Structure 1
Amino acid sequence: MSDPRKPADEYVVIRHRPGYRLRRSLILLAFTVIAAVAGYAAGLAQGGFRFSSAEASAEQLVEEVENLREQYREARQGLVNLERGRAIDEQALREARNTIVGLETRISELEADLTFYRNIMAPSETSKGLQVDSFTLSPARESGAFDFKMVLTQVGNNKSYISGLVAVNVIGRLDGEKEVIALRDLSDEIDDLGVKFRFRYFQDVEGSLRLPESFEPYEIQVVAQAEGRKASQAERTFDWKDLTEN
């Protein structure tokens, strides 16, 4: 006969939450990545790449790419574990996928930056000196207006600064006739035919432009002219459709 004074066995009910630990880990990982990207952006805002050596910038990018790749592999493994489980936590799955997309995008951006710096420091024999590296366009809020950014580089021999002028022309048709319009006639920010530049590794030139009514653009021509001991010229033409469709 049992002792009436002996307490009955007690049971504690613990709520089972599938994927909770993984979701918490992924959230921490996402905050880590955001903090790393914020630090990287802050470095850029302070002119880290513009005024430090390209070699140090390239080494920093290599290290950050490797760190992100390791985080990417961990996130991928977490996603596989979730998908193989019997009870998949949908919220954790969405967070894992979003984290992976963000990591893939960041890795792609850093690899593009790393390629850019490597090309400056170790160019091919046919691409040395002053170069028109790129020109990009993005539509502005107002109709017919665009924001632009062009990048000039000094490839290979970048121990000293290079300076000069860069001119931009928009080529197209106006009322059925071929028309070449200088950038200064399309932008309120530029007064001269050429924009002055002076840099050691690279320089960005940014601004906005507005096309005349009825003007149909089809090309942008960029001509950079270096002066002094490093006198040289670099010219490149960009297809308008390619610039606006990307």
Structure 2
Amino acid sequence: MSKEQKPAEEYVVIRHRPGYRLRRTAILLAFTVVAAIAGYVAGLSKGGFRFSSVEASNEVLEEELETLQENYTEARQQVINLERGRAIDEQALNQARRMIVDLETQIVSLKSDLTFYKNIMAPSEVSKGLQVDNLSLVDEREPGVWGFKLVLTQVGNNKNYVSGLVAVNVIGLRDEEKEVIALRDLSEEIEDLGVKFRFRYFQDVEGTLVLPDGFEPLEIQVVAQSEGRNSSQAERTFDWDELTEN
């Protein structure tokens, strides 16, 4: 009686695809970063962090920052792993590096937002009350046309609303003579000499201004005057070149 024959061994042929593992790693990393950024954008879309409670905004920002920092650390490790690999897929490595830069940008932005809210809630003794916090200009890519954003804040005591008027003047030269032009004469969005404000924590004043021909701007002067029994005034002058150097 013959012995039972053993089944023949089977072999599976797998196609060798150089760089496939590295590309797969980069794709997974891409999904991680996109998910983190999507979460951040979703947070912005729900009011742009303009919640009624600054404390709630702080908590959301801190959670988003912690998530981004974790993803940043993971992404950095992925780059190190790719660089140590024997066969480097340049495309995957460059993609991972770009994502590192995106994460760093998001982290810087979140830290800036956190600083803004913390300064409102825990100010120094010399910076309480109504404040002209910031003014920014954006080149609209048309001659003499600039987008502007003015931020007013109430620092420290936020139990009551603060209201009043803020006046903005652009100071410059025309025909070698000093000239002061009110913002309402440069912007269609501003109708009155003083822009009304009313807020507890902060308020933005945004629009577009158009400089007249032959006018060379030098400074922007902002004067905010609150109303009521505890009225106060905040004034700040911004250098035009510093606002537009970027």
TM-score bin (small chain): over 0.9
Query: Is the contact made by 2:218 and 2:241 (CA closer than 8 Å) also made in structure 1?
Result: yes
Aligned residue for 1:187?
Answer: 187
Aligned residue for 2:211?
Answer: 211
**Superposition deviation, residue 35 in structure 1:** 1.8
Which residue, out of 2, 8, 25, partners 1:22? Answer: 25
Deviates more, 1:180-189 or 1:71-80: 180-189
Return the alpha-carbon distance in structure 2 between the equivalents of residues 84 and 212 of structure 1. 58
**Superposition deviation, residue 8 in structure 1:** 6.7
Q: Where do 1:53-132 residues align within 5 Å?
A: 53-132=53-132
Code of the aligned partner of 1:119 = N
Query: Is the contact made by 1:18 and 1:88 (CA closer than 8 Å) also made in structure 2?
Result: no
Answering whether residue 167 of structure 2 is matched by residue 164 of structure 1, we say no
- Structure 2: unaligned runs, 5 residues or longer: none
Secondary structure, aligned partner of 1:19: helix
Secondary structure, aligned partner of 2:187: coil
Return the alpha-carbon distance in structure 1 between the equivalents of residues 148 and 239 of structure 2. 14
Deviant stretches of 4+, over 6 Å: 3-6
Distance 1:190 1:15, change over 3 A: same
TM-score norm. by structure 1 comes to: 0.93
Return the alpha-carbon distance in structure 2 between the equivalents of residues 162 and 5 of structure 1. 91
Query: Is the contact made by 1:139 and 1:147 (CA closer than 8 Å) also made in structure 2?
Result: yes
Secondary structure, aligned partner of 2:50: helix
Return the alpha-carbon distance in structure 1 between the equivalents of residues 23 and 202 of structure 2. 47
RMSD of aligned alpha carbons: 1.8
Return the alpha-carbon distance in structure 2 between the equivalents of residues 87 and 182 of structure 1. 63
Aligned residue for 2:12?
Answer: 11
Distance 1:185 1:14, change over 3 A: same
Query: Deviations for 1:34-84, whole angstroms, at most 9, x for unmatched residues?
Result: 321221221235xxx334210111111111111110110000000011111
Deviates more, 1:168-177 or 1:8-17: 8-17
Distance 1:32 1:51, change over 3 A: closer
Secondary structure, aligned partner of 2:195: strand
Question: Between Structure 1 and Structure 2, how many residues are aligned?
Answer: 241
Query: Is the contact made by 1:189 and 1:207 (CA closer than 8 Å) also made in structure 2?
Result: yes
Query: Is the contact made by 1:26 and 1:95 (CA closer than 8 Å) also made in structure 2?
Result: no
Deviates more, 1:141-150 or 1:12-21: 12-21
Distance 1:114 1:7, change over 3 A: same
Deviates more, 1:95-104 or 1:154-163: 95-104
TM-score norm. by structure 2 comes to: 0.93
- Structure 1: unaligned runs, 5 residues or longer: none
Query: Is the contact made by 1:162 and 1:230 (CA closer than 8 Å) also made in structure 2?
Result: no
Return the alpha-carbon distance in structure 2 between the equivalents of residues 231 and 133 of structure 1. 18
Return the alpha-carbon distance in structure 2 between the equivalents of residues 223 and 38 of structure 1. 33
**Superposition deviation, residue 31 in structure 1:** 2.4
Return the alpha-carbon distance in structure 2 between the equivalents of residues 6 and 106 of structure 1. 60
Secondary structure, aligned partner of 1:11: coil
Aligned residue for 2:138?
Answer: 138
